[in-house]
Structure 1
Amino acid sequence: MKARLVIATVLVATLATTLTPIPVQASAALVRPPAAEHGWVTSTLRHMSLAQKVGQLFSTYVYGSDATEPTAADRVANRATFGVETPAEVIDRFHLGGVCYFSWSHNLDSPRQIATLSNGLQRAALGDGSKGRVPLLISTDQEQGVVLRMPAPAAQFPGSMALGAARSPGAAQTAAEITGRELRAAGIHQPYAPIADVNVNPANPVIGVRSFGADPTLVAELTAAQVAGFQDGAGVTAVAKHFPGHGDTENDSHTNLPVINHSRQEWDRIDAPPFRQAISAGVESIMTAHIVVPALDPSGDPATLSPRILTGVLRGELGFRGVIVTDALNMAGVRQKYGDDRVPVLALKAGADQLLMPPDLRLARDAVLRAVSTGELTEGRIDESVRRILAMKYRQGLARSPLVDVDEAVRTIGAPQHLAAVARVTDPTLTAVRNDAGLLPLAHADRSVLVTGWNSAALAPVATVADGFTARGARATARPATLPSDPVITATAAEAAKHDLTVVLVNKAWDTIVTDPRGTQQRLVAALVATGKPVVVVAVRDPYDIAYLPGVTTYLATYSYTRAAMDALVRSLHGELSPRGRLPVTIPTAEGAGTVLYPYGHGLTW
């Protein structure tokens, strides 16, 4: 798919040539803190030991749904990872500055449980209330769309590329504000969003629909809108990521060390604008990328470990004064060149403040302490980062009220007005790409419908679509076929031949290297088309799939598989909702070579 990069890059370069760099206007709060903030930060720092200061630099996961009474399995996991059994003990032992919630670490179940866990962790951080104890900054990856951590009933908005298809800064801001309000109600202060990467590479395996699109102007505008939604609307800390821009890579930094070969001029034109706009909007935190950008730093070091990029470009040229948080330090992209004991030290020397999820917390902490004792790092350098982190916590209100009202969390998360907003934001994102045979919109008729293809156990999009047809009088059958075997493909096609219509969901069907190495989704769609019966193909993630599905004449893109996205899909199929989304990226042909299949801005309606 490397040839496909050419057309995307050329197109975006054309779109961005008229973009004027946005002047940096660092917020006054970041430059000249109010007296109360300065006093609290200074007093707190003065009473902290070096070990407590170093602990503030780290944020990591802990196992368990309760701070002091985790399950037996979670006790074992904590003991193996941290040497103690409970989340509270982890915080106390390492003086952690932050905790990051995940479902796999059993932190996220229900609003009441999450809020109760947050309060328990805060009590552990504050301990006896002495001046050296500091409240936690609790975070999670709540980008929405395909990357969301908060389970239902939390509001589940479409992700960034869907918002890019709608072209509405107001909708992007609303999504961020409601997301932030629900997180804050649960005691979570840092959503690790918005995504500021410009996805100019259709073969990007890790960003894709997590980006607002391929136009730097659009991405910058929506990034700034979400910064305002998170910070001004909800009072949580926005985190623009992944600096200096992860949008043009064919490697995943979770498993490799990607190299971005943009020239300095291309970086200024394509990658920098969203970060400039975020800084102008007052973003309080920016996350680094584990990528090599030779035009910015020819050393071969990933940006996370690069003084030239973090201190020279981000702080020096762009004027960022907030907290720099690393992407997870257990990712392969940051571990290939240096050992796990060197990475946290080098990240601090580069200019980072928060060190996220080191693979061995004890090793990482001890390495930083040792670097201070040997003089490689000064305590003054540690103090710089701790001051920024404390200031961010103060502005979060954590110095005054670190605990949340559990009952209020239950009332806020998934509130009816929030769910109504989800539908309003999602409806304009649906993009109709191809309707060559005029199949859509469908008439409300007594017909048999097979709904099949890619499925999510958590959100069950196949069942949601089938239920939508049933509610409209059809005889619908749901047959999930996620990465189906050859016998399943044969059986599914045989069943489709007995129905009047088939709706098939696909998810990154283009990616036959990582996501679908056997190309099973492409072969399933081909088998369904070969039946001669009408087939509607729906891309529930990357819109690029259509280039790899010959013979498909009806194709829509939802960019995510949330219930709201699937509801909008069913209504649009039946003519109850006119599709309004426009492609926020270019779709090249499968052959590449600079050939456009569908241009940026394409979108049908009825």
Structure 2
Amino acid sequence: MVAGCAGSGSASVPAESRASAASPASSEAAGNTARTAESTAGTTAGSTAPAGVEETLAKMSVEEKVGQLFMPVLYGQAADTVSGENQARFGVGTPAKMIAKYRPGGVILFPWAQNVKNVRQVVALTNGLQKASPRIPLLIGADQENGRVSRLAPLVTKMPGASVIGSTGDPSLARKAAKVTGTELRALGITLDFAPVADVNLNPRNPVIGPRAYGSDPRKVAPMVAAAVKGFHDAGVGAAAKHFPGHGDTTVDSHSGLPVIKHSRSQWERLDAPPFAAAIGEKVDMVMSAHVVMPRLDPSGDPATLSKPILTGLLRQKLGFDGVVSTDALDMEGVRKKYGDGEVAVRAVLAGADVLLMPPDYPKAYEAVLSAVRSGRISEERLDQSVRRLLKLKAARGILQRAPVADPAKAEKVLRSAEHRKVASLITGKAR
């Protein structure tokens, strides 16, 4: 998965978590966390309208609004790089021309797309991408969890992964690590990190989460996730908690299959929900969906990414989240098995998603959503809800009315600085 997705369907729970699940105290604490988050509905990221949001929304065409929902991968080391991959996927040769044509709300960078070579190159790329979107600045995202998923290595400080941080038992270290990473991303012109992982690694055979999670006990994972959100915000970078409703108890990788998790509603509330509730309590900017089926939460057989009972019923209504909901990567097999690439995008929006991440056939997905809006299948009110949330996120991170301009000299001083390496060493020294 893009920003790091998870795996599949066994309901096995390690001994530590079974003990937690059986504990009335832990169940009560998890329930209290969820109820607290539920009571914060209307106070999460995007609940008030910062300056410029409504004015910007009012001036947008339907085509521009639909564009805001998309976050693709663009190919090449610079905004004006001519790439056969860009031509094949978007009908234009350069990232800048793609942005001018489709006006996406953001982009996500990957080394395999030749986006990451060195510090000055990434700074020039992010500045060039922003210049190509003069009306509404872009969210520029990265999948920098640290540890196993580190898309900007070796440019950034090598921070320990979540499982190492979790082993310290000290949430303040999760905050420090996220602040370091966020500060370095912001220096590169990246304004959103697809982190932290909020999954609880309940299944030791999980092929895709594992050490990417802070641990296997929701009581210990939740404060780590909350602290990481604080750290990203300390650095002025958006955070995305993933993968909702929980990808921790799987044995199938959703990159290549469709995991099924058989947790009951009460098990979900006790085992999976607490870290997401904790993130929402810290006003996390974004929550990413999982391409997993939870038949006892939604019997339709659709993955959570396409499930209104899960994204709207549980995430929005139960946990009170009013920020941005992103799909996991739409090029993953876990979400492509049942519907075509155009219909998947439409169904994700109808389920409650605001960001359509990495659609494999961008023109087909864009046209499908645009046609659904024009036909009334997706109402203009529903479209405006998503766009408003995205604009509020950009305003909250200070990039709605003026795009950030990264300074290459400053970035070279910030990335892998002695101060940042010291934080990494501190965490490693306290790991158990």
TM range (shorter): over 0.9
Between the aligned partners of 1:316 and 1:62, the Cα distance in structure 2 is: 34
Between the aligned partners of 1:275 and 1:362, the Cα distance in structure 2 is: 33
Deviations 1:91-147 (A, max 9, x none): 111111111000000111211111110000000011xxxxxx211000011000010
Residue aligning to 1:267:
268
SS in 2 for 1:96: coil
Residue aligning to 1:245:
246
Between the aligned partners of 2:190 and 2:91, the Cα distance in structure 1 is: 25
Please say if 1:163 is aligned against 2:165.
Answer: yes
Shift, 1:9, TM fit: 5.2
Between the aligned partners of 1:113 and 1:411, the Cα distance in structure 2 is: 15
SS in 1 for 2:421: helix
**Does the Cα contact within 8 Å between 1:259 and 1:293 map onto a contact in 2?**
yes
Structure 2 unpaired stretches of 5+: 1-8
**Does the Cα contact within 8 Å between 2:197 and 2:241 map onto a contact in 1?**
yes
From 199, 214, 217, the equivalent of 1:215 is: 217
Residue aligning to 1:337:
338
Between the aligned partners of 2:44 and 2:247, the Cα distance in structure 1 is: 29
SS in 1 for 2:149: coil
Between the aligned partners of 1:317 and 1:5, the Cα distance in structure 2 is: 24
With 149-158 and 107-116 compared, the bigger mean Cα shift is at 149-158
Residue aligning to 1:19:
29
Shift, 1:151, TM fit: 2.3
**1:501-540 pair list within 5 angstroms:** none
Between the aligned partners of 1:4 and 1:386, the Cα distance in structure 2 is: 39
Specify whether residues 367 and 150 from structure 1 end up closer, same or farther in structure 2 by C-alpha distance, changes over 3 A only: same
SS in 2 for 1:125: coil
From 399, 402, 405, the equivalent of 1:403 is: 405
**1:475-490 pair list within 5 angstroms:** none
Deviations 1:218-265 (A, max 9, x none): 11010000010011x111111000000000011011111111101111
**Does the Cα contact within 8 Å between 1:98 and 1:139 map onto a contact in 2?**
yes
Between the aligned partners of 1:416 and 1:164, the Cα distance in structure 2 is: 23
Shift, 1:10, TM fit: 2.4
Between the aligned partners of 1:219 and 1:244, the Cα distance in structure 2 is: 15
Please say if 1:106 is aligned against 2:114.
Answer: yes
What is the aligned-residue identity percentage?
48
SS in 1 for 2:405: coil
Residue aligning to 2:174:
172
Shift, 1:424, TM fit: 1.0
Residue aligning to 1:203:
205
Between the aligned partners of 1:137 and 1:31, the Cα distance in structure 2 is: 15
Shift, 1:266, TM fit: 0.7
Give the number of the structure with larger relative contact order, counting CA–CA contacts within 8 Å between residues 6 or more apart: 2
Letter in 1 for 2:84: V
Specify whether residues 156 and 295 from structure 1 end up closer, same or farther in structure 2 by C-alpha distance, changes over 3 A only: same
Q: RMSD of the alignment, in Å?
A: 1.8
Residue aligning to 1:120:
128
Shift, 1:8, TM fit: 5.9
With 356-365 and 13-22 compared, the bigger mean Cα shift is at 13-22
**Does the Cα contact within 8 Å between 1:8 and 1:201 map onto a contact in 2?**
no
Residue aligning to 1:292:
293
Shift, 1:156, TM fit: 1.2
Residue aligning to 1:236:
237
Letter in 2 for 1:288: S
Residue aligning to 2:3:
none
Shift, 1:30, TM fit: 3.7
When Rg is computed on C-alpha atoms for both structures, the one with the higher figure is 1
**1:2-81 pair list within 5 angstroms:** 5=13, 7=15, 10-14=18-22, 16-17=26-27, 19-20=29-30, 21-22=32-33, 23-24=36-37, 25-26=40-41, 28=43, 30=45, 33=48, 37=50, 39-70=51-82, 75-81=83-89
Specify whether residues 28 and 2 from structure 1 end up closer, same or farther in structure 2 by C-alpha distance, changes over 3 A only: closer
SS in 2 for 1:179: helix
**Does the Cα contact within 8 Å between 1:26 and 1:280 map onto a contact in 2?**
no
Specify whether residues 303 and 372 from structure 1 end up closer, same or farther in structure 2 by C-alpha distance, changes over 3 A only: same
Specify whether residues 376 and 210 from structure 1 end up closer, same or farther in structure 2 by C-alpha distance, changes over 3 A only: same
**Does the Cα contact within 8 Å between 1:172 and 1:226 map onto a contact in 2?**
yes
Deviations 1:280-329 (A, max 9, x none): 11111100001111121111111111110111111011100100000000
**1:460-499 pair list within 5 angstroms:** none
Structure 1 unpaired stretches of 5+: 127-132, 430-580, 582-606
Letter in 2 for 1:46: A
**Does the Cα contact within 8 Å between 2:10 and 2:250 map onto a contact in 1?**
no
Between the aligned partners of 2:268 and 2:235, the Cα distance in structure 1 is: 32
SS in 1 for 2:182: helix
**Does the Cα contact within 8 Å between 1:200 and 1:248 map onto a contact in 2?**
yes
**Does the Cα contact within 8 Å between 1:27 and 1:282 map onto a contact in 2?**
no
Shift, 1:4, TM fit: 6.6
Shift, 1:31, TM fit: 6.2
Please say if 1:366 is aligned against 2:374.
Answer: no
Indicate the structure with greater helix content.
2
Q: How does the TM-score come out when normalised to structure 2?
A: 0.93
Shift, 1:189, TM fit: 1.0
